[in-house]
Amino acid sequence: MSLTNDATRNAGDTGRRQADNGLTNSHFRFVPRELALKCRTLIESYHAMHGYGCLPDMLWHSDARDMIECHRDLTKIFKNAAKSRCAKRANESFLTIATIVVSLEALARDFAGWGKRFPAAKREAEELLGDHAPRPRIWFMDMYLYPPLGIHRQFASTLAPSAAAEPVTTRIE
C-alpha cells in the first residue's frame, strides 16, 4: 500500500518517489487505501491554500512528533526530507508522513465511521497511537479540520496604527 495519491503523479515518477521516501509498507499496510487517499487530498488542499512551509513545523510541534520518533522509517523519511535541497521531494516526503498520521488518527478516533468500517485496522491504529499518548493527546488531524481562527492575529496587531500615530490636524490661520 502506497500512501500517496496516484492521480497526481505520472508513471515515471512513481518508482522514484517511493524509493525516495524509503517507507516500508509493512508497518502501515493495514491503513485502507481509500482513507489514505482522502487524507492526502485533505492535506494537499490545506497546504495549497496555506503553503507547504508550515508542514514540517506542524509535524514536529504536534503529537505527530512522538509517532515519527518511535518509527525508524518515519524518522528516516523526516530527516531526509529536512536535509533535502529539493523542495518538491521534501514536500512529498512530509506529505507521506502527514498522510500516515492523519489516517491513523482517523481510524483510532473512528472519524466518519472509518473505525467501524475497518475494525481490525482501528485496533492496530489504536495500538500504534496508544503507545505514544501518556498525556492528553493533541490530535494532528485537528490542525487540518479545525485550524485556529486567530493563528496570526498577534501579527496583525503590529500592523495596526498606534494611538500616538493618529493624524494631527492643524488649523492655519
39-52 pLDDT tens trace = 999 999 999 988 99
Query: CA–CA distance from 19 to each of 15, 68, 89, 109 (Å)?
Result: 6, 19, 11, 31
Residue 28 near residue 3 (C-beta atoms within 8 A): yes
Residue with cell 502501515: 28
What CA dihedral angle connects 138, 144, 146 and 149, to 10 degrees? 110
**Distance separating alpha carbons of residues 128 and 108, to the nearest angstrom:** 9
Instruction: Kindly give, in sequence order, each residue whose CB lies less than 8 Å from that of residue 87, ignoring residues fewer than 6 positions away.
Output: 52
Instruction: Kindly give, in sequence order, each residue whose CB lies less than 8 Å from that of residue 23, ignoring residues fewer than 6 positions away.
Output: 3, 73, 74, 77, 96
> Which pLDDT tens digits describe the chain residue by residue (173 residues)?
455 444 334 333 443 344 334 444 568 999 999 999 999 999 999 999 889 999 999 998 888 998 899 899 999 999 999 999 999 999 999 999 999 999 999 999 999 999 999 999 999 999 988 765 545 667 888 888 877 665 444 444 444 444 554 554 555 55
- Global confidence as pTM: 0.73
